[in-house]
Amino acid sequence: MVRTRLMAAPSRGRVRWMNVMRTGVLHLLLLSACLGQDPEDWQYEECKLSRSGPPATIVAIDEESPNGTLLVENMQINGVAEGPDRTISLSLRDNHDFWVILDPATQALYLNSTGRVLDRDPPSYIQSIVVQVQCTNELIGTVILHEVRIVVRDRNDNAPHFQQPRYYVAISELTPVGTTIFSGFSGNNGATDIDDGPNGQIEYTIQYNPKDPTANRTFDIPLTLFGSVVLRERLNYEEITRYLVIIQANDRAPSQSDRRTATTTLTVDVLDGDDLGPMFLPCTLVGNTRDCSPITYLASVLELTEPNKTNPLNVTPPIQAVDQDRNIQPPSERPGILYSILIGKPASYAEYFSLNRTTAELMLLKPIDRELYRRFDLVIKVHS
């Protein structure tokens, strides 16, 4: 209450008193600056950092740095750590595995990798080293810890590695251009690289294979990060049944010259699609085509012979057909060849003959009277 009223209407005398107080405070500040020169007080400054900035000292070095690599040039701790005028003593704490060496005289830190490798990658996984520089103030006996964080940077010291020595896929010759025919590199089943960041990222490309010169134009990897293989040109089983596609994996180290690679072979077997019909054997090609000339099979039957004495009838050459797509895979998809009598003359042939659908054996059904029939013409059909 009293103060409020004074501020609302201060008298001249009151203002002057406040000015006097302010002058007093300034005097005290000056005095305090003078006291800083007092030996008693600077002793407290020993062991503190002389630099500004964050309390921890943070540096970065490459993995695999050689022994003796300078980590910190000068810790910038107030005090003298050696000699007759020594005011502080320095030592290391939490120096696990002795990775760090301290030179107290210069306050420098060095890497100790004698007889071992500072490896950031598996299985070591040393991604940072943290130690404490312990400073004991020898004048007043206090102790201060200064943290040092050493970040271990990745180097591209590992090449990609394929999980399998080779890869395999089988595709139909009828596969349309543009189809993804292989995605076996997904989910870490392709190449991996234990380096970090881009040094561990993989790109896939198809290389020219001198032993299979058409492979690199028949297949393509449009998205290099995924590595899926896409068909680029039509296949033809009758011309090429197997491709050996050389696939290279490289990491993505920022500098092209640092990139490391590995290669594998993708074997692509072309499976016969059912694009050609069956044909009767033996086949005599018509001119320059893939078509066979019509073939005639012959069989003779003695008149009045009992079927059980002559079946199956002896046909020359034996009735036989093959699928021209000789090797359809898998075999379960290979169509069975089926035979039948399409038509015959005279029309009563069906009473006398039957053809086994699967074996093409011609069977006599009942004895034939030569007075009635001298000749039958049967047209045989095969389909698959």
Interface with ligand NAG (CB under 6 A), residue total: 17
96: contact with ligand NAG by CB under 6 A: no
Q: Which is nearer to ligand NAG, 111 or 271 (CB)?
A: 111
Q: Which of 217, 234, 370, 381 binds ligand NAG (CB under 6 A)?
A: 217
- DSSP assigned state of 282: S
Q: Judged by CB under 6 A, which of 32, 50, 67, 163 binds ligand NAG? A: 67
Query: Is residue 94 part of the contact set for ligand NAG (CB under 6 A)?
Result: no
Cβ atoms of residues 50 and 18 within 8 Å: no
Select from 207, 113, 202 the least CA-distant residue to 158.
202
Q: Facing residues of 377 across strands?
A: 345
Interaction pattern, residues 343-362, with ligand NAG; x per rule: CB under 6 A: -------------x-xx---
Q: Which of 308, 336, 347, 372 binds ligand NAG (CB under 6 A)?
A: 308
Question: Is the Cβ of residue 217 or residue 290 nearer to ligand NAG in the bound state?
Answer: 217
Under rule CB under 6 A, residue 291 binds ligand NAG? no
Candidates 216, 241, 261, 320: give the one binding ligand NAG (CB under 6 A).
216
Q: Would you give the binding string for ligand NAG spanning residues 21-60, x where CB under 6 A is met? A: ----------------------------------------
Stretch that binds ligand NAG, among 24-32, 110-118, 326-334, 367-375 (CB under 6 A): 110-118
Residue 43 or 113 having the CB closest to ligand NAG:
113
Residue 266 and residue 244: Cα distance in Å, rounded? Answer: 6
Q: Are the beta carbons of 380 and 341 closer than 8 angstroms?
A: yes
- Give the DSSP H or E segment for 40: helix 39-42
Count other Cβ atoms within 10 Å, centred on residue 219: 20
Note whether 222 binds ligand NAG by CB under 6 A.
no
Query: What long-range pairs does 96-105 form, CB within 8 A, spacing at least 24?
Result: 96/129, 96/131, 99/126, 99/129, 99/131, 99/150, 100/71, 100/129, 100/131, 100/148, 100/150, 102/133, 105/81
| 226 is a site residue for ligand NAG (CB under 6 A) | no
Q: What is the residue type of 257?
A: S
Q: Does the protein bind ligand NAG through residue 106 (CB under 6 A)?
A: no
Q: How many C-beta atoms lie closer than 10 Å to residue 33's C-beta?
A: 9
Answer yes or no whether residue 101 interacts with ligand NAG by CB under 6 A: yes
Does residue 107 interact with ligand NAG by CB under 6 A?
no
Q: How far is the CB of 361 from ligand NAG (least distance, A)?
A: 6
**Binds ligand NAG by CB under 6 A, chosen from 32, 50, 106, 114:** 114
At residue 209, φ and ψ (nearest 5 deg) are: -110, 105
Question: How many residues make up the chain in this entry?
Answer: 384
For residue 209, the minimal CB distance to ligand NAG (Å) is: 8
Backbone angles phi, psi at 162, to 5 degrees: -80, 140
Q: CB nearer to ligand NAG: give 120 or 271.
A: 120
Q: Is 115 in the site for ligand NAG (CB under 6 A)?
A: yes
Instruction: Using the Cα atoms of residue 98, residue 100, residue 103 and residue 107 in order, give the sign of their dihedral.
Output: negative
- Token pair of 38 as six digits: 């007092």
What are 133's strand-pairing partners?
92, 146
Query: What is the binding site for ligand NAG (CB under 6 A)?
Result: 67-68, 98, 101, 110, 112, 114-116, 208, 216-217, 306, 308, 356, 358-359
